[in-house]
Amino acid sequence: MARKQQVCDLADKVDRDLKLSGFPKAYDYWEASPSTIEGVLGGYGELSPIDIAGSTKFLAELKSLRPGLGCERAADCGAGIGRITRDFLLQHFDAVDMVEQSPKLLEAAPRFLGPLRDCVEYICMGLQDFCPPADTYDVIWVQWVVGHLTDVDFVKFLRRCRQALRPHGVLVLKDNCCSCDGSADAPDGTDNSCEDSGGNAGASSAFVLDSDDSSVARSVAYFRSLFKHADMDVVLQRREASIFPEEIFPVFYFALE
């Protein structure tokens, strides 16, 4: 009971801090960013090929564990201009639904996608309002965006996505984790330790608020507690093996069903 209360208290604090930091501020931050790879990656455009390569490797491992995973339709949540859609998802799925809250970024997507634009549906909506139809997606890819959701909205979003998955389908969350506590129980005995050269090793905070873009970085243990609240199971968890800049928190993948 004490553990549950601790999680609830943390959730209340995360939600309060995010609301105080202001959703409008986060919206304005991304509206003011250039509609380019450099812009949507917050000045780290050079990381895009490394990021795509890591995602491709994770998806390949996921497919080997789930031979029944389909390749018809995926959702790109927090899609921006379509970086992940163009360079990753459309290389593996027939069609992609891009879900993006910023009209400015979404309007830039067709030109960025080029000939692939015809394989895409565009949904201008925040994830807190996204209600996907049941039995629609083989994969729902959620990357570097849930830091803008309160815990309550995040859990509700996960529950809605769960019913939108096709048989054998998964939701993949790829995000920075401010601490790797609780990762020892990852599926398959994965080594997800937080030892790195970036000063983030051993961080013990359950969450860290970024006042620049009004987002929150959660710990591995905190994420996993929220997955349980959403009645979703982790089928595969990995830490990104590629080298990212020292100032960036470690990146983790979570495949959920």
pLDDT digits (tens, 9 = 90+) for 33-57: 899 999 899 888 999 999 999 999 9
Residue 93, domain CATH? 3.40.50.150
195 in any annotated domain: no
36 in any annotated domain: yes
34 in any annotated domain: yes
More confident residue, 10 or 70: 70
118 in any annotated domain: yes
Min mean pLDDT across 68-77, 175-184, 228-237 is at: 175-184
246 in any annotated domain: yes
What are the binding residues?
78, 83, 127-128, 143
Q: According to DSSP H, which parts of the chain are helical? A: 2-21, 23-32, 37-40, 48-65, 83-87, 103-113, 151-164, 220-229
**Structural domain of residue 73, as residue ranges?**
1-182+206-256
199 in any annotated domain: no
Confidence of residue 188 (pLDDT cuts 50, 70, 90): very low
192 in any annotated domain: no
More confident residue, 21 or 11: 11
The confidence score (pLDDT) of residue 114 equals 98
Count structural domains, the chain.
1
% the chain with pLDDT above 70? 79
d(CA 201, CA 7): 22
What are the binding residues for S-adenosyl-L-methionine?
78, 83, 127-128, 143
The confidence score (pLDDT) of residue 202 equals 38
How many angstroms separate the Cα of 82 from the Cα of each of 109, 208, 244? 6, 27, 21
Can you give the pTM of this predicted structure? Answer: 0.85
- pLDDT of 62 > 90? The answer is yes
- pLDDT of 235 > 80? The answer is yes
153 in any annotated domain: yes
Lookup result for tokens 């080029």: 114
